[in-house]
Amino acid sequence: MKTEVSQKLKQRAELVMPGGVNSPVRAFNAVNEQPRFIERAKGAYIYDADGNKYTDYVCSWGPMILGHNDERIVEAVKKQLEKGMSYGASTELEVEMAELITSLVPCCEKVRMVNSGTEAVMSAVRLARGFTGRDKIVKFDGCYHGHSDMLLVKAGSGVLTQGIPGSSGVPVNCTADTLTAKYNDISSVKTLFETYPDKIACVVIEPVAGNMGVVLPKDGFLRELRELCTKYGALLIFDEVITGFRLALGGAAEKFGIKPDLATYGKIIGGGMPVGAYGGRGDIMACVAPVGNVYQAGTLSGNPVAMAAGIAQLKILKEDKSIYTRLENLGERLRNGIKKAAADNGIKIKVNGASSLSTLFFTENEVYDYETALLSNTKRYSDYFSHMLSNGNYIAPSQFEAMFVSAAHTEADIDKTVDDIRGFFEKG
């Protein structure tokens, strides 16, 4: 597999960008590999600058649920581009997007568009504090909610000491009111509420964790979390930046039958364009300026090109419910194939997944929280990554991420990928 052009591009990039990238995971440092510079994409495949073709299981980290460059979305973007790329003013497209989201997600009576998942969660937490008049927030070890200062605590690869920032440049005071609990351990949350019964503004959680690898909530965990928040007057925030409109049309809230007070979105609602959103109960959202006193603004929020792309994608998902059945089946085919390939070769691994999200953990232990995820053999994953990349499979360059399947993937794509994984297991 040729990599000369990507290598040259990396050298150029390192001269003008920190690490040669605009997001750390793209440097491939965790897998000791040469990052590929992608030139184009179509359907389930991406093509790098050296002309190599890969079956893509990153899918731009989630938004390409229909596959790359879906013609219907491309056409919607082209039509809007002819009218203008940005106005800094209100548009009908924003209204249509808000109407779509509120009609599809029961917990969202009103919604505010922003530009990224980070911005969405940051704004939702600020809103929760403004609505409740409380300062403390609860997050879970290993859950990532963007890179805002207050949430960089035990965030996936962050440090493990409560209240200590997981990044240089974050003052300790910024995280002093951030409390951490153990994912899937409701007793750890109860302890925090018993300690601070009238000081916790909100609990923010990935209902299905996707940033320590895919980790599912145990039966009853989300329901008990909902009950605790209600009991103590705190707001429950679902970070559905990854799971929203992917696990189901109504996201994890629909899949698990739990109604959060606020929810955050991104990825899919932009159809591949930069976008985010937060929404929830009408009385809570009424606290957002200009109606209320919780300030949040954005020059490019509700960008018309992003809205056009997102509306097109959401309408397709709304009108063709068979897409979710297909994603579920493809995800199961992938996970079952991996498990069988491992069992046939006496390899002990764990595979977690929900619908089109999956993670292969190189550990024989059940993975149900951050600590058990960290037991995974990252060196083994690095070897696996190199094997898969050389065989034309583009997967997450980190053990602690998800594999994404799109509706453009075929059974043949999945079977070929499973065969490549089998080949890795056969090498021992």
- Fill in the amino acid letter for 186: I
Summarize pLDDT for 357-414 with one digit per residue, the tens: 999 999 999 999 999 999 999 999 999 999 999 999 999 999 999 999 999 999 999 9
Residue 173 CB neighbour total at 10 angstroms: 9
What band does 173 get if pLDDT is binned at 50, 70 and 90?
confident
Q: Which of 38, 39, 41 is nearest to 74 (CA)?
A: 41
Place of tokens 């079977």: 415
- pLDDT, residue 229, reads 98
Positive or negative CA dihedral for 185, 187, 189, 191? negative
Residue 213 CB neighbour total at 10 angstroms: 31
User: How many angstroms separate the Cα of 95 from the Cα of each of 110, 308, 311, 412, 420?
Assistant: 11, 11, 10, 40, 46
Mean pLDDT over 66-93 rounds to 98
Nearest 10 degrees: Cα torsion 128, 132, 136, 141: -40
Lowest mean pLDDT among 154-158, 318-322, 347-351: 154-158
User: CA-CA distance, 70 to 78, in Å (whole number)?
Assistant: 12
What band does 166 get if pLDDT is binned at 50, 70 and 90?
low
- pLDDT, residue 157, reads 34
User: CA-CA distance, 358 to 247, in Å (whole number)?
Assistant: 12
Kindly tell me if the per-residue pLDDT of 318 is higher than 70: yes
Side by side, the strands of the sheet bearing 350-354 are 350-354, 357-361, 403-404
Kindly tell me if the per-residue pLDDT of 356 is higher than 60: yes
- pLDDT, residue 167, reads 64
Kindly tell me if the per-residue pLDDT of 230 is higher than 80: yes
Residue 116 CB neighbour total at 10 angstroms: 18
Mean pLDDT over 235-253 rounds to 97
**What fold, for 71-319?**
Aspartate Aminotransferase; domain 2 (3.40.640)
Residue 168 CB neighbour total at 10 angstroms: 5
User: How many angstroms separate the Cα of 5 from the Cα of each of 27, 30, 121, 155, 189?
Assistant: 15, 21, 38, 34, 50
- pLDDT, residue 49, reads 98
Question: Under CATH, domain 4-69+321-426 is a member of which superfamily?
Answer: Aspartate Aminotransferase, domain 1 (3.90.1150.10)
Token duo for residue 51: 């002309």
* Helix H or strand E segment including 113: strand 110-114
Domain ranges of the chain: 4-69+321-426, 71-319
User: CA-CA distance, 233 to 296, in Å (whole number)?
Assistant: 23
Q: Show which residues are catalytic.
A: 144, 239, 267
